[in-house]
Amino acid sequence: MTGTILTPGSRVGAETMEKAARGRSLWDDARRRLMRNKAAVGGMIVLGLLVLAAIIGPYFTPYAYDQINKDHVWAPPMTQGHLLGADSLGRDLLARLLTGLRVSLAIGLVATTVSLIIGVAWGAIAGYVGGRIDEIMMRIVDVLYSLPFIFFVILLMVTFGSNIILIFVAIGAVEWLTMSRIVRGQTLSLKHKEFVEAARAAGLGDGGIIAKHIIPNLLGPVVVYVTLTIPAVILAESFLSFLGLGVQPPMASLGTLIANGAQDMELAWWLLVFPSLTMVVTLMSFNFIGDGLRDAIDPKDR
Amino acid sequence: MLRFIGRRLLIAIPTLFLVITVAFFMMRAAPGSPFDGERKLSPEIEANVMAKYGMDRPLHEQYAAYLVGVVQGDLGPSLKYKDKSVLQILQENYRVSLTLGLSAIILATIIGVSLGVLAALRQNQTTDYVVMTIAILGVCIPTFVTAPVLVLVIASKLGWLPSAGWNGGALPNLILPIVVLTLPQVAIISRLTRAGMVEVLRSNYIRTARAKGLPENRIVRRHALRAAILPLVSYLGPAAAGLITGSLVVEKIFNLPGLGKFFVISALQRDYTVVMGMVIFYAALILILNLIADLLQAALDPRVRLS
């Protein structure tokens, strides 16, 4: 910052002064810090491309993801019109990869939304109401925390068969615990702030205060945690799929593709390598964005 | 102290009870039965088998009987492996999982703490960036990617190590599974250590130690490290949970006769009692580790009060 002070005529200096004149909100500050973080910006660009590829990509591949072609069994990459090769049934890996990415991202998004809704509601109520109810609600979270959850998800999948809705719900229901703790902590510190008292004095009810004043102010930490939950959910789904309990064929997710790739890797390395790479790149871009957001929003590290 | 342990156990018991109840009814709600084989049993035989295991009684009676058994330390017979009790199966298979898990957590702690300290001491220098890159990669590359890739490269192509099997616990067979389990833990532990260390190195008592003229080496070892690794203690529970999850994948890929592999197979085969036994075993394990973590935390950090 010293540089800008010493050279007030420079472009940077002028920009800073203009911003200062207009007044900057905390969110403006956060956005500027985020944009200066190269890893986070890189993560956003890569993720944007991945999302775009997942949404429109499947319409542009020469083969459908479930199209079996006996003459193309184990076609290596760049042969017979298969950019990334074909699998044991002659299905195009590129098409399957794009579809799998789409499924994985969708699961990440939906399950995270489920966890977001449960977690924010639970945490906000516990923190706001406080007292005995808070204690009971957080004790429940503690108890659930100490369960070997993956076993319950596995049991759930085994019990009710693997359908995609259930995967959404099961994983979402597992991931809300940390969210509720974060939200509760924030709520506790928010509820004694002057603006909440002012709202109460103005006659707003508890529900209104939670919805209009508490939750909007929770946004920062919640956004950070959401960006870190999505990759965790994608991982969880892939883990289930890898064990054969997740998405069922001919549908694909990144996890099923990696599982199939691992089975056939001696014969066709591309079936393992490309899905694995996609998985790692996806997880990394989410993590970079999440870390960048945390550095940008969390006032502790300023 | 004793009161704290007592209170935690009072919470642990309802937790276990909840685990047992949910798992029991979920398992029974599943379609299919452990006696669905390749050949369909005749109705009379099936009725006999059901009666033998008490499965002809109403569900709530079975549940009550099961609870009574658990309290007496009896987890019942396996429904798939004739002549074996669940306890026997646990005893025969825990060794593989325990060996892998313990080795992984010990290795990960040594490597992770060293890397974390190194990164903190050389903050914002090349070493720091290298370590933190490793940490990010370790978090982003899941076990079900590292395991097959390592098998493909090191076992299949290079032929340095066996690709699968237990072989009585021979070292070459253990290396790859342990490495796969260790990597993600190294990543998390080095991150935690670095964060703790960076914070501690800024604190006043470290400045005091420096002002006293203590050698840097001694400051790091005696003063900073102790405080910096405290957050690691509370990571013990989650680490165990992570290792258990990882062992499901590792035992499948490396075809190891451990509990993780057994769990998935038993769940698919509807071997109710075995699945229940494993859920109880793992839940108890995690509860105990969390309790130990809390006690350690209090023993090591005078600021923490057990209440």
Facing B283 at nearest CB: one of A148, A160, A266: A148
State chain B's mean pLDDT as an integer.
81
Distance CA B143, CA A283 (A): 13
Distance CA A16, CA B291 (A): 52
Instruction: List helix spans (H) across B43-85.
Output: 43-52, 59-71
- Min distance A96 CA to chain B CA atoms (Å): 18
Residue of A nearest to B287 (CA): A146
Residue of B nearest to A145 (CA): B238
Lowest mean pLDDT among A273-287, B131-145, B185-199, B292-306: B292-306
pLDDT at residue A86, rounded to an integer = 75
- Over the stretch B100-155, which tens digit does the pLDDT of each residue have? 888 898 999 899 888 988 888 888 888 888 888 888 888 888 888 888 888 888 88
pLDDT at residue A255, rounded to an integer = 87
pLDDT at residue A45, rounded to an integer = 92
Q: Which residues contact A117 (CB under 8 A, 6 or more apart)?
A: none
In this complex, do A154 and B264 lie within 8 Å of one another by their Cβ atoms? yes
Count CA atoms within 13 Å of residue A232 on its CB side.
19
What are A92's strand-pairing partners? A86
In this complex, do B248 and A139 lie within 8 Å of one another by their Cβ atoms? no
Which candidate, A129, A105, A111, A130, places its Cα nearest to that of A179? A111
pLDDT at residue A48, rounded to an integer = 92
pLDDT at residue B86, rounded to an integer = 83
Q: Which residues contact B51 (CB under 8 A, 6 or more apart)?
A: none
The phi and psi torsions of A159 (rounded to 5 degrees) equal: -65, -50
Q: Label each residue of A261-299 as H, E or C.
A: HHHCCCCCCHHHHHHHHHHHHHHHHHHHHHHHHHHHHCH
Choice between A81 and B86, residue whose per-residue pLDDT is larger: B86
Tokens of B44: 């009379």
What are A79's strand-pairing partners? A82
Choice between B303 and B127, residue whose per-residue pLDDT is larger: B127
pLDDT at residue B224, rounded to an integer = 83
Instruction: Check whether B20 has a pLDDT greater than 80.
Output: yes
Judge if the upstream peptide bond of residue A250 is cis by omega within 30 degrees of 0.
yes
pLDDT at residue A7, rounded to an integer = 43
- Min distance A9 CA to chain B CA atoms (Å): 31
Distance CA B96, CA B259 (A): 8
Residue of B nearest to A154 (CA): B264
Instruction: Check whether B24 has a pLDDT greater than 60.
Output: yes
- Min distance A288 CA to chain B CA atoms (Å): 9
Burial of A143 (0-12, 13-18, 19+ CB in 10 A): middle
> For residues A219 and A227, is the Cβ–Cβ distance under 8 A?
no
pLDDT at residue A16, rounded to an integer = 53
The maximal CA–CA distance of chain A, rounded, in angstroms, is 76
Please work out, in degrees rounded to the nearest 5, the angle formed at the alpha carbon of residue A298 by the alpha carbons of A294 and A300: 130
- Residues of chain B positioned with their CB less than 8 A from the CB of A245: 264
Q: Which of B24-28, B162-166, B183-187 has the highest mean pLDDT?
A: B183-187
pLDDT at residue A10, rounded to an integer = 46
Q: What is the DSSP string of B263-287?
A: HHHHHHTT-HHHHHHHHHHHHHHHH
pLDDT band at B293 (very low <50, low <70, confident <90, very high): confident
> pLDDT 10s per residue in chain A (302 long)?
344 444 444 445 555 555 555 666 777 777 888 888 888 888 899 999 999 988 888 787 777 777 777 777 777 777 777 777 777 777 888 888 898 899 889 888 888 888 888 888 888 888 888 888 888 888 888 777 766 667 777 777 777 776 777 777 778 777 888 888 888 888 888 878 888 888 888 888 888 888 888 777 888 788 888 888 888 888 888 888 888 777 877 788 888 898 888 888 878 888 888 999 999 999 989 988 888 888 777 655 43
Q: Residue A92 — left, alpha, or beta (φ > 0 → left; ψ -120 to 50 → alpha)?
A: beta
In this complex, do A266 and B156 lie within 8 Å of one another by their Cβ atoms? yes
pLDDT at residue A49, rounded to an integer = 92
- Residues of chain A positioned with their CB less than 8 A from the CB of B279: 148, 151, 155
In this complex, do A280 and B145 lie within 8 Å of one another by their Cβ atoms? yes
Tokens of B171: 């070292």
Give the SS3 label for residue B57: coil
Which candidate, B287, B282, B242, places its Cα nearest to that of B262? B282
Q: Residue B193 — left, alpha, or beta (φ > 0 → left; ψ -120 to 50 → alpha)?
A: alpha
pLDDT at residue B107, rounded to an integer = 92
Tokens of B180: 């796969």
Over residues B163-186, mean pLDDT: 82
Choice between A199 and B168, residue whose per-residue pLDDT is larger: A199
Complex ipTM over 0.85: no
- Residues of chain A positioned with their CB less than 8 A from the CB of B11: 139, 142-143
